[in-house]
Structure 1
Amino acid sequence: MLTRILDWFGFGSHGHDHGGHGGHDHGGQGHDHHGPHGHTHGVIDATIATTERGIWAIKWSFVILATTAALQLAVVLFSGSVALLADTIHNIADATTAIPLWIAFVLARRRPTRTFTYGLGRVEDLAGIVIVLIILASALVAGYEAIDRLFNPQPVRFLGWLAAAGVIGF
């Protein structure tokens, strides 16, 4: 279980387990480099390495932003601060934007097929549109809440906790 968690966060084996094959026999017996352990040696396609690193960064970004937003939301609920609410909405939106990008990176790693002869690399463009819509929605919600507080003011409480949550958000 711990191995799976570490691998998910990018600290595990990264799929480099050779299934107990131990050392590689690269002797002159015509060893097939695409053989039983399923990988190649030599040049690595830069887009695959970048995408794998991108997925790793997205996972961490999502976890950190979601945790930050959850902590801020707790302070928003008892402080009544619309400023912290706006930052919390922003962090929730940022965490949420990681999801379509994550999906796009996973899909971009697929090999070309008859239907998609160049692969699915362009799905990142669609993810970009979804991300813009998420950011727009978060801005509209934050704007609505700010305008609502102008017409329905509420006292702000627990300023120390509010300041701490602002620092966490930063």
Structure 2
Amino acid sequence: MTHPNPPHHSHAPSKLGHLLKPHSHDTADKTDAALESSSRGMRVLAVSFAALMITALIQAVIVALSGSVALLGDTLHNFADALTAVPLAIAFSLGRRAATRRFTYGYGRAEDLAGIVIVTLIAASAALAAYEAIKRLITPEDIQALGLVAAAGVVGFAGNEWVARYRIKVGREIGSAALVADGLHARTDGYTSLAVLLSAGGAALGFPLADPIVGLLITVAICFVLRDAAREIYHRLMDAVDPALITQAEQTLTAVPGVEGVGAVRMRWIGHTLRAEVDITVSHELTLIEAHAVAVEAEHRLIHEIPRLRAATVHADPDGPPDTDHHSPLQTHR
């Protein structure tokens, strides 16, 4: 792998020009990695969309044969869940667009907006499940063709759980909180399908109230999943990162030759990639070119050591001379 910013350059003007923009690793490598993450996300959406549509179509056939209203609701829910791939697909597509003078960091945060839509859908799922459970508790309904309904519940659970695992796994690997939230949403639908299965079993044992009681329990489970998904998206919207990443970055910077101290370290997610802003201290006896080389090496090591970090802006402060405040003009602005 080649690096366009090695510690020593052959042309001084290029060094000075580079000081005016963030130090950055191989642009082609970063772009390829970001596009590959988006491509994986799109593949997940396509495969999970197909899996959920097949699941819902199988359930629809059994609905036609059994006339189960409960199963009809679960089937419609699965169709709706398949359609949550749409806002995510739009977000991934937008994330591939180049940065502009208005959107200087690109369009990666569109994933967070998609995550809000998904959390809203999970909340709606919980509300719908609670409504149906209370309605059936007040006016119990008989379930016909219990064997077929139970089979459809198993199909619904299996399909949703497979999709949930797939979305959550890839979402965490590429750093997409929205994809993880969508996986959690699929898991809630699997719980809803289980409710159909358990209610059919209760009806077969002569306990028709099993259907609404299980429905209420599933609503509680969906609320827990909603909490996790909402927390995931909230953290992204508030630019939260794992504190362990900050510690790792500080340790990485401390080990860079020429770094005398490490100041503020900030990171934020933009889509499923990280950007960082760090302050380091270098010897005041270094030349501008030497200090620049230390900053470039600091960013170089950060990009290699921090997962999914694509760029870092490294600010180097001199450590002296004694009793000199290099930031005094900024004191009134801080």
For normalisation by structure 1, the TM-score amounts to: 0.66
State yes or no: 1:91 paired with 2:96: no
Query: Does 1:104 find its partner at 2:96?
Result: no
Contact 1:65 1:95 in 2 (8 A): yes
The alignment partner of 1:45 has SS state of: helix
SS of alignment partner, residue 155 of structure 1: coil
- What is the deviation of 1:74? 4.3
* Residue from 80, 105, 114 that aligns with 2:68: 80
Displacement of 1:57 after TM fit?
1.1
Give the Å deviation of 1:70: 3.2
Q: Which residue of 2 is the match for residue 25 of structure 1?
A: none
**Residue 119 of structure 1 pairs with residue 92 of structure 2:** no
For residue 167 of structure 1, what is the aligned residue in structure 2? 154
Q: Which residue of 1 aligns with 2:142?
A: 155
Mean Cα deviation higher: 72-81 or 142-151: 72-81
Query: In 1, distance between residues paired with 2:126 and 2:60?
Result: 17
Rg larger in 1 or in 2? 2
CA deviations over 1:31-80 (Å, ceiling 9, x no partner): xxxxxxxxxxx746211101111101101111211221233244346343
Indicate yes or no: 2:120 matched with 1:133. yes
What percentage of aligned pairs have identical amino acids? 52
Report matched runs for 1:31-110 at 5 Å. Answer: 43=29, 45-76=32-63, 78-80=66-68, 82=70, 84=71, 87-88=74-75, 90-110=77-97
Q: Which amino acid aligns with 1:54?
A: G
- When the two chains are superposed, the root-mean-square deviation of aligned CA atoms in Å is 2.2
1:132/1:141 Cα in 2 relative to 1: closer, same or farther (>3 Å)?
same
Letter aligned with residue 131 of structure 1: I
What are the Cα deviations for residues 93-119 of structure 1, in whole angstroms up to 9, with x where unaligned? 431321111110011011111211111
* Cα offset, 1:168, TM superposition: 1.2
TM-score w.r.t. the length of structure 2 is 0.35
CA contact (8 A) 1:65 1:91 kept: yes
Gaps of 5+ in 2: 1-27, 159-334
Is there any run of 5+ residues in structure 1 with no aligned partner, and where? Answer: 1-41
CA contact (8 A) 1:108 1:119 kept: yes
In structure 2, give the amino acid aligned to 1:66.
M
Flag the 1:49–1:120 CA change in 2: closer, same or farther, 3 A.
Answer: same
